[in-house]
Amino acid sequence: MKADRYLKALTKCIESSRIRKEIMREYRDHIEDCKEVLMESGMSEEEAEEEAVRQMGDPAEAGREMNRLYREVLDLGMVIWFLGITTVLLIMRWTWGLNEHETPLFILDHIGRAFVAYGLLLSAWEKHNDLELAYAYAENWSAGAGAVNNSGLILAIGVVFMAHDMQRGMWITLVLAAVQILLRSYIQMLNRKRETELLWEIGVADTTVTYKGKGTFRGKQIRIKTREDEIQPGTPIMIIAMEGAKPVVAKV
């Protein structure tokens, strides 16, 4: 078995894209080191590569073991940010006396719930698209179309509206933190399941592929993109990575 084929079979079993890259690099280095030693002992390059790969063991078994050791499920980054910013806003509200208002509490509750509902939907969308904690959602910043987005801040504002007192605010914060963990971890697992199913699959471009396009894999048409120059319809392509739930392809 060739090294590239071995590495593809191994990394297909690993859910985390970050860990996958590290393990691929590490295993490739091991194979190259072993290959050099075998070539020095008199083997040809092809024989040495095949023997080095053989010595690495079954790729699927090794991949499953690496995935078990390095599995990342809980998404805590956003939750930590949400807890921090909410605590700061609540302290500011009560320190500066912003809780003194004449607006009926039920109206504040409705406003807060609207922010929370929007924040949870935005959080799910962010995770589905594998966006950074604070991301810019625009292409033309020079025209003033740019904006930094973050669902944690939206949720924090919702908590501040719903917090009639500090204790109530902290309880709502803890509940939403738990919901965030469950929601984002579930979406992350779905994305990784899709990634491990599609990674290294070969198909064909159905449309011109640039930052968007469509291709057929396993008899099913899916939305894809490429980081290369545009790919013409009918070109054989391989899925080499995922950006959120969207496969990234390259020409075969």
Q: What is the pLDDT of residue 189?
A: 80
Sign of CA dihedral 24, 210, 133, 156: negative
Domains of the chain by residue range: 1-72, 77-196, 199-252
- Which residues are 188's β-sheet partners? none
**Distance of alpha carbon 174 from alpha carbon 39, whole angstroms:** 60
**Distance of alpha carbon 195 from alpha carbon 193, whole angstroms:** 5
When pLDDT is averaged across residues 97-103 and rounded to a whole number, the result is 60
3-state class (DSSP) for residue 250:
strand
The pLDDT of residue 71 is above 70: no
Q: Are 224 and 248 in contact (CB under 8 A)?
A: yes
Q: What is the pLDDT of residue 102?
A: 66
**199-252 is classed in which CATH architecture?**
Beta Barrel (2.40)
Angle value at C-alpha 125, between 68 and 148, nearest 5 degrees: 110
**Distance of alpha carbon 74 from alpha carbon 178, whole angstroms:** 11
**Distance of alpha carbon 252 from alpha carbon 250, whole angstroms:** 6
Query: What are the tens digits of pLDDT across the range 54-63?
Result: 877 788 777 7
**Distance of alpha carbon 144 from alpha carbon 125, whole angstroms:** 23
Confidence of residue 215 (pLDDT cuts 50, 70, 90): very high
Mean predicted lDDT score pLDDT of the chain: 81
